[in-house]
Amino acid sequence: MVGAFLLTVFAVVPWLIHVSGRWDFYYTLTSVALLSIASGGVWLTFYIGRINIGQGAFALAGGYVSAILITKYGFPFWLTLPLSGLFCAALAVLIGLPILRLRGVYFAMITLVLTEVARLSALALPITNGARGISSIPLPGELSIFGLTLIPAFSTLGNVKLAFYYLATVLMVVSFAGLYRLVNSRVGHLCRSLQQNEELASSFGVNIAALRIIAFAISSFLGGIAGSIFVAISQSIYPASFPVNDSINFMLNCFLGGLGYVFGPMLGTLIIYFGWDLLFTTGQYQLLIYSTILILLIVFLPNGILSLPVFNRRGAGQ
């Protein structure tokens, strides 16, 4: 199962694209991989029983950290990638300490507001260059250890799209493997106890405050690195790069795949992104058809696509 998936992602898909000559699919699939990393983060906050509509804020923050470090301080991209993730994780701890005390719709609303705060901050702060944003960011350079080239500079590669595709999918696989490991560890079981009843978990001696901060920080870390790769691909960032709609879409991705399944966000992102693209041919009715399908899915499959019996014979990643 896992082997087949890895083979598809790393070999079959590039081969198919190579044969069919549809190079634009690399960009689409790279976006899907990055969006599913960010959605995976959102999923983790769902796992501790919080509705997170603030991932756009962290993706934006991660993107700006990466962009500013590269353009103003001359950092290499490969260093800014973890740094932007860590910055977002630190930010999440700072913001999370007060707001993770909120629950239910209160937390949902405050995280939604957070997305808006991020956009307005990017507009107002001097370092982010206001509405004009930061553009013409150089492509990722060479990554080498002791003179040994691990990853060549992207600008010297013949096919930049393929390079970004591999970068995004490798990160996606690593992130979801990490999430899977986390969920099936002791900490993961404790997180599930938070989802069901925080007071009860606390009375057993579970440190709920620390757990939810950790989960929120990991979630934001994923949002941050996704944002910073997006910046590397588009070579620019603006305050409107990750609007409120993106935050809502991250949440929809998780829901659609199924909140009870680690790999739900991946499937949800793939379906939502491709569904939206396929409907492009319907022109002005695109949004209407898309939202109708979405509503029907929610009404008839309220527990996500992975809750269909087809997927549950051998427990799909449960």
Partner 1 sequence: MEQIIANGLYLGAQYALIALGLTLIFALMNVLNFAHGQMYVIGGFVTYTVYAQIGMPFIVGVLASGATLAVVGALVQKFLFGPVIRKSMREESTMLLAAGIAFFLDAVILLLFGEKQRGVPKIVNGIFNYNDFTIVMPYDRILVGALAILAIAAFILYMQYSKTGRAMRALAQDKVAAQLMGVNVEHYSIIGFALGAMLAGVVGGLLVTITGINLGMGGPTSIKAFMMVMIGGAGVISGAIAGGFILGMLESIGLSVLASYGDITYLVIFASLMVFLAIRPQGLMGKPWG
Query: Residue 82 or residue 104: which is nearer to partner 1 going by CB?
Result: 104
* Shortest Cβ 32–partner 1 spacing (Å): 19
- Close Cβ partners of 159 (under 8 Å, ≥ 6 residues apart): none
Residues that bind partner 1 (CB under 8 A): 46, 51, 95, 98-99, 101-106, 108-110, 112-114, 116-117, 120-121, 123-124, 244-245, 248, 251-252, 255-256, 259, 284-285, 287-288, 290-292, 294-295, 298-299, 302-303
* Shortest Cβ 138–partner 1 spacing (Å): 30
Query: Residue 9 or residue 51: which is nearer to partner 1 going by CB?
Result: 51
Query: Residue 57 or residue 69: which is nearer to partner 1 going by CB?
Result: 57
Q: Interior CA angle at 155 toward 223 and 15, to 5°?
A: 75
* Shortest Cβ 23–partner 1 spacing (Å): 30
Alpha-carbon span 293 to 265, nearest angstrom: 18
The token pair that represents 136 in the structure block:
């013409």
| CA dihedral of residues 44, 45, 49, 54 (deg, nearest 10) | -150
* Shortest Cβ 205–partner 1 spacing (Å): 22
* Shortest Cβ 222–partner 1 spacing (Å): 20
* Shortest Cβ 278–partner 1 spacing (Å): 16
Query: Residue 80 or residue 129: which is nearer to partner 1 going by CB?
Result: 129
Asked if residues 46 and 52 have their Cβ atoms less than 8 Å apart, the reply is yes
Query: Residue 185 or residue 292: which is nearer to partner 1 going by CB?
Result: 292
Query: Residue 46 or residue 87: which is nearer to partner 1 going by CB?
Result: 46
* Shortest Cβ 235–partner 1 spacing (Å): 27
Chain centroid to Cα 238, Å, comes to 18
SS (H, E, C) 246-312: HHHHHHHHHHHHCCCCCCHHHHHHHHHHHHHHHHHHHHHHHHHHHHHHHHHHHHHCCCCHHHCHHHH
Query: Residue 209 or residue 248: which is nearer to partner 1 going by CB?
Result: 248
The token pair that represents 110 in the structure block:
């405050």
Nearest Cα residue to 252 out of 233, 272, 237, 224: 272
Asked if residues 244 and 56 have their Cβ atoms less than 8 Å apart, the reply is yes
Asked if residues 173 and 9 have their Cβ atoms less than 8 Å apart, the reply is yes
- Close Cβ partners of 153 (under 8 Å, ≥ 6 residues apart): 139, 140, 141, 142
* Shortest Cβ 108–partner 1 spacing (Å): 6
State the first-to-last Cα distance of the chain, in angstroms, to the nearest integer: 13
Q: Interior CA angle at 168 toward 163 and 174, to 5°?
A: 125
Query: Residue 195 or residue 235: which is nearer to partner 1 going by CB?
Result: 195
